Amino acid sequence: MTRFVRALIWGLFAIAFPSTGANAPSPSPLPINIQADSATVSETLGKSEYFGNVVISQGDLKITAEQVTLLSDKKSLTSITALGESGEPARFERSASSARPGIIAEAKTIEYQVPLETLMLLGDALLQQGEDRYQGSRLSYNLQQGLFKVENDGTSADRINLIINPKP
C-alpha cells in the first residue's frame, strides 16, 4: 500500500471520528468506499481527483459532490474540497452518535482542512446539527471545538439565518 493511499485512509478515518484525540488508541480503520465516473490520482503530487456523481463514504461519514479533490503531504491527508454542480450543492454528512448530534452540511463548495478539523462552506451554505440550522453565504465550523461563524457575502441584502432549538 502506497504512502498516499495510507494517508488517505487515515485522513478519512480522522474525519469520521474527529474526537478520537491524539492519545487515544487507534482502532483499525473502516473501509473507504469511493464511487465516481472517473478519477485522476497523482501519488507524487499527493493529489487525487474524482469526477461525476462522486460519493465517498466511511463509517458514519458521507461526502457527495460533482467533483472531489483530496490533497495530502507525505504523511497524511491535509484537505478535501468538494464542488457541487449547478443547482445541486456538495454535501457532507456525519451520522449522530451517543456522544454528538449528526451533521448535514451543504454548499456550492465544501473545504475540509483535516489537521484543523475545520469545515468551510462557501456559497449558499447550510449546516444542520441535530435540530439546529445555520444558513449564510459562508460558514466555517470547527468540528472538534464546536465553534462556527456564519456570514453573508457582503454584497447582497441576504442576511444570515440561524434556528437554534432549546435543549431539553
pLDDT digits (tens, 9 = 90+) for 113-132: 988 989 999 999 999 998 99
Task: Point out the least confidently predicted range of 1-15, 55-69, 79-93.
Answer: 1-15
Residue 15 lies in a domain: yes
pLDDT attached to residue 134: 96
pLDDT attached to residue 144: 87
pLDDT attached to residue 156: 66
Grid cell of 125 as nine digits: 451554505
* Nearest to 114, CA basis, from 13, 44, 3: 13
Residue burial 37-56, b: 16+ Cβ < 10 Å; e: rest: eeeeeeeeebebbbbeebeb
pLDDT digits (tens, 9 = 90+) for 136-159: 999 999 988 989 999 998 776 778
Task: Point out the least confidently predicted range of 10-24, 97-111, 121-135.
Answer: 10-24
Q: Grid cell 454542480 — which residue?
A: 85
The full DSSP string for 139-168 is: EEEETTTTEEEEE--SSSS---EEE-PPP-
Note down the domain range covering 102.
3-22+32-163
CATH number, domain containing residue 146: 2.60.450.10
Residue 42 lies in a domain: yes
- Please state the domain count of the chain: 1
Q: Where are the beta strands (DSSP E) in 9-151?
A: 33-35, 38-42, 47-58, 61-72, 77-83, 90-94, 103-107, 109-113, 118-129, 132-142, 147-151
Residue 27 lies in a domain: no
Residue 168 lies in a domain: no
Does the structure show a pLDDT above 50 at 49?
yes
Give the mean pLDDT of the chain.
84
Q: Residue range 41-64: average pLDDT?
A: 94
